[in-house]
Structure 1
Amino acid sequence: MHAETCSFQHVATFAYTASAFLPNASANCLLKFYLPYCFVCLRNYNYPHYPVFCRRLVNYRSYQPVITISRKGWLLVKTIRFQYHLLYLLRIVRFPRPWREHHEDPARMSTKMQLYLGYKYYFKAMVEDEVRSGIKAALLNSELKLDTPADFHISNTYTLHAGGDLIPYTAITPDTCKHLWNHVGDFFFGADLVVANLESPADFSKPYSAAPEVMLNDMYFNIDAPTWNIFNGNGQHKGYDLVSIANNHSLDQGEEGLQNTIAFLNKQGVARTGAAESAIGIHTVPVLERKGIKTGFIAATFSLNKMQVPPHQPWLCNHILLNEENPDISRLIDQADIARANGADCVVAMLHMGCAYQAFPGSIVRNNIHRICDATNADIIIAGHPHHAQPIELYHSTVTGKQHVIIYSLGDFIAYDIYKWGHLTLLLHLEISKGMRDGKQETRVTRIGLKPAYMHAKIQQQQVTDLQLLDYQQVKQSPNTYLKGKQSQQEFAELTDFFERFVLPPHQQHLLI
């Protein structure tokens, strides 16, 4: 989750500062209409009109990336968008394509970088790839076929399911989430091994802290026991076998908060990766066995927001500048080697990295993930952080001679952000098999499946009253059964367009399950 998402305060401050450097006429225009516009919004408030379920392609030039819940949220977002519109007209901020060098680390972001992040979130959907990168064509034109040899004789197979980011929001409560898992819970938690990214400390000695509807300040998360119960299947399912706790919110409650999170997970019997209790822990990699196949899990994060790993505790969390060129990945290499030495037949790297609110991964991120595959020989990369789904890739490494499965982002999982693309998440299904080929034992990914799920919200009196993860394909087949209001129908139509144009085009939909 972005603690650093460009806020109303950032934009307002920048707008007034910018006015000092503009010609008098432009400055007067910038300042003269700001407060009157807010007054007009208050006097003429009404909810936007949403047409019935549509099948036309979305016009992303006029598309609004966010949709609010309350009157206050609507006004705040409307005001922020108005300011961006002014800055856009004055040519102060214009970003037609992704910014290659934008690393998205709030500890070192400039004002322009903050504005760029908010531009993608509030103002203009970033649907193109970087200039001359070829990433869009490479990812969307691929057939996504596994190269399983005909002479690979399978002896045993287990299933691995992965979800995206588990993030506390004020809309995520025991009352709103009673039916959260009704439609996809049996499928998701029914795998032999279930994993996700826990993007919050779980320190019950400190107050609960969640993201509000509209974020105006840096966010420092902390879940309580009821929220963990929601994340973990509402007590109706077996829950997670492993979570990654290496992400930009790992140190939101400081060193003590992270240590208490580890202690809580240990008590729950949930394995974790990406952080350690002590210096010895940096050399300990979880290796989980299912049906005679051992899988090692390593993890790292590109950022800790505005926090830092204490110099005297470098082992506390795997913090690597994964969104920048030529990061030091030696720790990942060492931990992958440790996993193999401890008997792992397969290695999964759960990497918190990437650029949020843009349809495609950046070239630096893609190059770094390829390099990690080459150097660690990780079979599967499950990346995350963009807060919405991105395309997947099968990378053929000339270094390892293998095909590596790369998931750039599964999206927000259990969360409810006002950013609309985040309401469509991917549930990853992998079948990992051990067998013989040419007299040698091998372990391979023998099937990839994706089950998209739509986070449907019922909103009454400016509040979320019910959240359910709906099976995307079932909703698409019978929209009138699941979508009762015009707002839900419009949002689902937009998400369908987004999914089929930018995530999994029709020729790749053989992966759907």
Structure 2
Amino acid sequence: MKKTSIYFLLVFVVLTACSSQEISIGVLHEHANKERVSKDTSVKRFNREISIAAIGDILIHDRVYLDAWDGELYDFQPMFASIKDYLINTDITLANQESIMGGEAIGLSNYPQFNSPFEIGDTLQDVGVDIVTMANNHTLDRGEQAIRNAVNYYNEIGMAYTGSFISEEDNETIRVLDVKGITVAFLSYTYGTNGMPVPDRKDYLVNLIDKQAIENDVKKANNLADMTIVSYHFGDEYQRLPNQEQQDLAQFAADLGVEVVIGHHPHVLQPVDWVEGKDGNQTLVAYSLGNFLSGQYELYQRIGGIFQFSAKKDGTTITVDTPVFLPTFVDFDIINDKMTDVQVIPLKDVSDEQLSNASDHLEEIKAHLTKYVDDVQFID
């Protein structure tokens, strides 16, 4: 049984996603040699530890949702079947819902203005996702109504969300998940919205990257939770290394005492790093988790992964360590110019028939992810 609690300031709602599976990435018990202490918290009587996972872009092109159509509904379950066991037992799982989930009523749509069916939200919840980030360059693709539809549906199924909201009050409510006595705050921001202006007096519809706003939110989050995770939608598309702006924003978050930074937008994997904050704290940074599920065709656009780490509360400190990564691959067939049998599978399980020299690509991805650090472990 996977359980988290969501605190909306002082009010909480308990979320539960059940599983009979026993296989997951799991928190490795041989921790990295150097422990990285993030910040002091109020004294607790018992030590606690949780596992947190993050996945990249859920970018539902029309060729993906058309493959999911079974004649009655959009069934995305088979696409996640091979990786569900790696997600379901993680204590908290975060996903980036790149394409707005406005539902069929307003018409599904493809790039450049996406709109996805509600069923993708059901599937994400079924595979163990607890919270989605919504601040990205496609948030305003289908206007305010799509955002309201998505938020209403997330509320209906009990899925937490951050980065895009339907009111000022909703925006000001920091999302905090509580599991096993460790509280985790989630914040999300985007560099822009593809030139689409945010409606007047409705800035709450999407969080834009603004350092003053981020600082204010992080201060609130740090007061509400034991640790804070910031998601940035930033960087250059299809570039495999972070640019200077990404590095500066990661440093900014570290200086604020943020424990973890998760990046999205480039649609390809970028390396993992530790960034030292001004107070000597170490912030874990994944500059880009790439695409997790999308209809993009190029090799590196098809490789994403599950990024997991542990958060341990020991007396008065929170320690984030043991970064673990499972590279994944979006496999599909092309029949009559249509994408079929789309599925996300562990890259370690990909055959040479599915991807030529698959094992060589896996080793290259491992080397790429550890370009800056060597303490990222991989699932074999």
In which range does the TM-score fall when normalised by the shorter chain? 0.7 to 0.9
| Structure 2 gap ranges (5+) | 1-31
Does 2:205 match 1:330? no
Q: Find the aligned partners of 2:343 and 2:116 in 1 and give their Cα distance.
A: 20
Q: 1:281 aligns with which of 155, 166, 170?
A: 170
Question: Deviation of residue 509 (structure 1)?
Answer: 7.1
SS at match of 2:80: coil
Question: Deviation of residue 208 (structure 1)?
Answer: 0.6
Q: Find the aligned partners of 1:308 and 1:381 in 2 and give their Cα distance.
A: 26
Does 2:35 match 1:147? yes
- Over 3 Å counting, the alpha-carbon distance change for 1:246 and 1:462 in structure 2 is same
Question: Deviation of residue 240 (structure 1)?
Answer: 1.9
Q: Find the aligned partners of 1:145 and 1:333 in 2 and give their Cα distance.
A: 31
Q: Which has the larger radius of gyration?
A: 1
> What per-residue deviation string (whole Å, max 9, x for no partner) do you get for residues 298-336 of structure 1?
11000101212123122221112xxxxxxx411111111
Query: Which structure has the highest helix share of the two?
Result: 1
CA RMSD between the two structures: 2.5
Q: Please name the residue that 1:214 is paired with.
A: none
Q: Please name the residue that 1:345 is paired with.
A: 226
Contact (CA 8 Å) 2:46, 2:314: kept in 1 or not? yes
Contact (CA 8 Å) 2:54, 2:308: kept in 1 or not? yes
Q: 2:50 aligns with which of 158, 180, 189?
A: 158
The residue correspondences of 1:153-192 to structure 2 (distance < 5 A) are: 155-172=47-64, 173-174=67-68, 179-192=78-91
Does 2:121 match 1:228? yes
- Over 3 Å counting, the alpha-carbon distance change for 1:146 and 1:171 in structure 2 is farther
Q: May I ask how many residue pairs the two structures share in their alignment?
A: 334
Does 2:323 match 1:448? yes
Does 2:99 match 1:200? yes
> What per-residue deviation string (whole Å, max 9, x for no partner) do you get for residues 218-243 of structure 1?
x111111334344x16x5x3x32110
| Structure 1 gap ranges (5+) | 1-143, 212-218, 321-327
Question: Deviation of residue 266 (structure 1)?
Answer: 0.9
Contact (CA 8 Å) 1:161, 1:193: kept in 2 or not? yes
Q: Find the aligned partners of 1:371 and 1:334 in 2 and give their Cα distance.
A: 13
Question: Deviation of residue 146 (structure 1)?
Answer: 4.3
Q: Find the aligned partners of 1:491 and 1:420 in 2 and give their Cα distance.
A: 12
Contact (CA 8 Å) 1:429, 1:448: kept in 2 or not? yes
Q: Find the aligned partners of 1:341 and 1:507 in 2 and give their Cα distance.
A: 30
Contact (CA 8 Å) 1:424, 1:495: kept in 2 or not? no
Q: Which amino acid is the alignment partner of residue 187 of structure 1? A: Y
Q: Which amino acid is the alignment partner of residue 191 of structure 2? A: F
> What per-residue deviation string (whole Å, max 9, x for no partner) do you get for residues 188-237 of structure 1?
122111111111222233001124xxxxxxx111111334344x16x5x3
TM-score (norm 1): 0.61
Contact (CA 8 Å) 2:163, 2:188: kept in 1 or not? yes
Q: 2:304 aligns with which of 417, 421, 425?
A: 425
Q: Find the aligned partners of 2:221 and 2:248 in 1 and give their Cα distance.
A: 24
SS at match of 1:315: helix
Contact (CA 8 Å) 2:268, 2:303: kept in 1 or not? yes
Q: Find the aligned partners of 1:301 and 1:386 in 2 and give their Cα distance.
A: 12
The residue correspondences of 1:73-472 to structure 2 (distance < 5 A) are: 146-148=34-36, 155-172=47-64, 173-174=67-68, 179-204=78-103, 205-211=105-111, 219-230=112-123, 232=124, 235=126, 237=127, 239-320=128-209, 328-342=210-224, 344-374=225-255, 376-397=256-277, 399-436=278-315, 441-472=316-347
Q: Find the aligned partners of 2:325 and 2:306 in 1 and give their Cα distance.
A: 6
Contact (CA 8 Å) 1:299, 1:332: kept in 2 or not? no
Identical-residue share of aligned pairs (%)? 23
Query: Which structure has the highest strand share of the two?
Result: 2
Question: Deviation of residue 491 (structure 1)?
Answer: 7.0
TM-score (norm 2): 0.81
Question: Deviation of residue 497 (structure 1)?
Answer: 6.2
